[in-house]
DNA sequence: GGAATGACGATAA
DNA sequence: ATTATCGCCATTC
């Protein structure tokens, strides 16, 4: 399957996400350039077990209801900036080095 | 080829 | 704030 390469791209990007930061499915998909948010989610559902999936959130900073509770534990431990039940995308939104002037 | 589905996203009401 | 609907992209039946 060629999707293997796509999977590598997604996992690699997710692994790059530093603690206390998060990336939305749409951002990841856009960063890779191919597919869409659903493909990222599909990959995560299949191979996400080997990467910090809790650092991958929805566009509005919330997590899928299925993993919301699980992610809260990680956020609490890693110190992810949160506002109520959602992650503070304004502070936590992260993009790979070199693609942003946030350094 | 067409319909249905999914760890999504955005917009409308 | 919340629910509902449409659109997107690839996979699966």
Q: What is the pLDDT of residues A61-87, one digit of tens each?
A: 999 988 999 999 999 999 999 998 899
A37 CB below 7 A from strand B atoms: yes
pLDDT over 80 at A99, yes or no: no
Radius of gyration of chain A (CA): 13
A44 CB below 7 A from strand B atoms: yes
Q: Nucleotide B9: nearest residue by CA–C1'?
A: A59
Token look-up 């939305």 returns: A24
Residue A88's H or E segment, with its range, is none
What is the pTM for the complete model shown?
0.91
Q: Return the pLDDT at A71.
A: 92
What would the pLDDT profile of A18-66 be if each residue is shown by its tens digit? 999 999 999 999 999 899 999 999 999 999 999 999 999 999 999 998 8
Q: Return the pLDDT at A22.
A: 95
- Of A30, A33, A34, A24, the closest CA to residue A55 belongs to A24
Q: What Å value separates CA A21 and C1' B5?
A: 30
Token look-up 């992810």 returns: A80
At residue A82, what are phi and psi to the nearest 5 degrees? -125, 155
């Amino acid at each position: 399957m060629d999707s293997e390469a796509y999977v590598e791209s997604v996992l690699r990007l997710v692994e790059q996400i530093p603690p206390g930061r998060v990336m939305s499915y749409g951002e990841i998909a856009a960063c890779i350039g191919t597919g869409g948010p659903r493909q990222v989610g599909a990959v995560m559902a299949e191979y996400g077990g080997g990467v910090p999936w809790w650092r991958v959130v929805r566009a509005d900073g919330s997590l899928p209801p299925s993993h919301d509770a699980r992610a809260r534990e990680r956020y609490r431990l890693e110190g992810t900036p949160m506002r109520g039940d959602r992650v503070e995308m304004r502070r936590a939104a992260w993009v790979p080095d070199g693609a942003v002037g946030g350094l």
